[in-house]
Amino acid sequence: MKLHKIVVAVLALGVAAGALAQAKPEVLVKQRQAAMTLQGKYFGPLAAMAQGKAPFDAAVVARNAGYLEALSRMPWDGFDASTKDVKSGTLPVVYSDAAKFKQAGENMQAAVDKLVAASKGKDEAATKAAIGGVGKTCGGCHDDFRQKP
Amino acid sequence: MKLHKIVVAVLALGVAAGALAQAKPEVLVKQRQAAMTLQGKYFGPLAAMAQGKAPFDAAVVARNAGYLEALSRMPWDGFDASTKDVKSGTLPVVYSDAAKFKQAGENMQAAVDKLVAASKGKDEAATKAAIGGVGKTCGGCHDDFRQKP
């Protein structure tokens, strides 16, 4: 497939957010949910390790922490005000108190950065504590900004 | 939310692939599609820049290239043989010629790595060429392994 066809295909999907027109609200929601899905994929095993429910594997922690460093930056522009009326698990307070929500996102990123640093050391206990720190920011944000399942 | 509650919630979502039981086929498909969605989000604007359809922005290219470096590693374990019968746009050849599919994924990762390197230079033409190189691997893989839309 030629690059111009890729561009046409990508634009047809409405995913060229930022560089061109603003993405459609439904696309923004799909993208932010994708980031959450992948955060779950790569954080889940670490949470299990921190809890002693799975054997500690330093290589997996370091790899997943690196992925989470990128993923933890990805959801936020998807919570654009234009998405307010799209069906999702998001509570209205995300849009009515955007500053508080932004802070919660930044807390998570900071906790992930600490985990990335810890995962480069050789200290299993410190790494597990850093995993716990990330989990706390996930849970805190879900408590405040997401509908109860 | 306490960490043990996070773990329970994460496990309930079935996302603890790898560290614990193998994730369910439907979860694997959701996760691999999430990776594709985010690749589209972050590659789309770069493709538009390479085509001259959007102004070149070196900072956005460098940021997105970094995200794509992580994202380009994420889809592949989601194409587990257990997902063969889950409805998706994937062609059966993904499972019948896994070696060819693996090579296509590796080609994409190599092209993304070149883009990451190029995006650190100051050469707009070289960076645009590297974007084109990534686009070619996206399209090549879609041509061979994905149903036509």
DSSP per-residue codes, A83-102? GTTS-SSB-THHHHTHHHHH
Distance from CA of A146 to the nearest CA of B (A): 12
Could you tell me if residue B105 is inside a domain? yes
For the segment B113-133, the average pLDDT, to the nearest whole number, is: 97
Residue B109's SS3 state is helix
By CA distance, what is B67's nearest residue in A?
A70
CB nearest to B6's CB, from A33, A37, A47: A47
For the segment A72-76, the average pLDDT, to the nearest whole number, is: 98
Could you tell me if residue A73 is inside a domain? yes
Residue A18: per-residue pLDDT: 45
Distance from CA of B10 to the nearest CA of A (A): 6
CATH of the domain at B62: 1.20.120.10
By CA distance, what is B13's nearest residue in A?
A40
Which 8-state DSSP code applies to residue A146?
B
Distance from CA of A113 to the nearest CA of B (A): 15
Could you tell me if residue B7 is inside a domain? no
Give residue A6's pLDDT band: very low, low, confident or very high (50, 70, 90): low
**Residues from chain B contacting residue A77 (CB–CB below 8 Å):** none
**Residues from chain B contacting residue A32 (CB–CB below 8 Å):** none
Report the helix count and the strand count for chain B, using DSSP H and E: 6, 0
Give residue A21's pLDDT band: very low, low, confident or very high (50, 70, 90): low
The ipTM value here is 0.88
Residue B149: per-residue pLDDT: 81
For the segment A132-146, the average pLDDT, to the nearest whole number, is: 97
Could you tell me if residue B139 is inside a domain? yes
Give the residues across from B90 on adjacent strands: B146
Distance from CA of B96 to the nearest CA of A (A): 22
Rounded Cα distance, A148 and A146, in Å: 6
Average pLDDT, chain A: 90
Residue B106: per-residue pLDDT: 98
Residue B128: per-residue pLDDT: 98
Rounded Cα distance, A64 and A70, in Å: 10
In the predicted model, is pLDDT for residue A42 greater than 60? Answer: yes
Could you tell me if residue B1 is inside a domain? no
For the segment A80-103, the average pLDDT, to the nearest whole number, is: 97
For the segment A48-58, the average pLDDT, to the nearest whole number, is: 97
Could you tell me if residue A4 is inside a domain? no
Residue-wise pLDDT tens digits, B29-67: 999 999 999 999 999 999 999 999 999 999 999 999 999
Range of the domain at A38: 24-145
CA distances from A129 to A42, A47, A52, A113 (A): 17, 10, 12, 13
**Residues from chain B contacting residue A131 (CB–CB below 8 Å):** 3
Total tally of structural domains belonging to chain A: 1
CB nearest to A1's CB, from B4, B46, B143: B143
A20-34, A57-71, B66-80: least confident range: A20-34
By CA distance, what is A37's nearest residue in B?
B31
Residue-wise pLDDT tens digits, B73-115: 999 999 999 999 999 999 999 999 999 999 999 999 999 999 9
Cβ(A28)–Cβ(A80) below 8 Å: yes
Share of chain A above pLDDT 70, in %: 86
Give residue A122's pLDDT band: very low, low, confident or very high (50, 70, 90): confident
**Residues from chain B contacting residue A49 (CB–CB below 8 Å):** 19
**Residues from chain B contacting residue A8 (CB–CB below 8 Å):** none
Across the interface, do B5 and A33 touch by the CB < 8 Å criterion? Answer: no
CB nearest to B38's CB, from A1, A34, A57: A34
Distance from CA of B114 to the nearest CA of A (A): 17
Across the interface, do B50 and A3 touch by the CB < 8 Å criterion? Answer: yes
Could you tell me if residue B3 is inside a domain? no
Residue A100: per-residue pLDDT: 97
Residue A73: per-residue pLDDT: 98
In the predicted model, is pLDDT for residue A2 greater than 70? Answer: no
Could you tell me if residue B2 is inside a domain? no
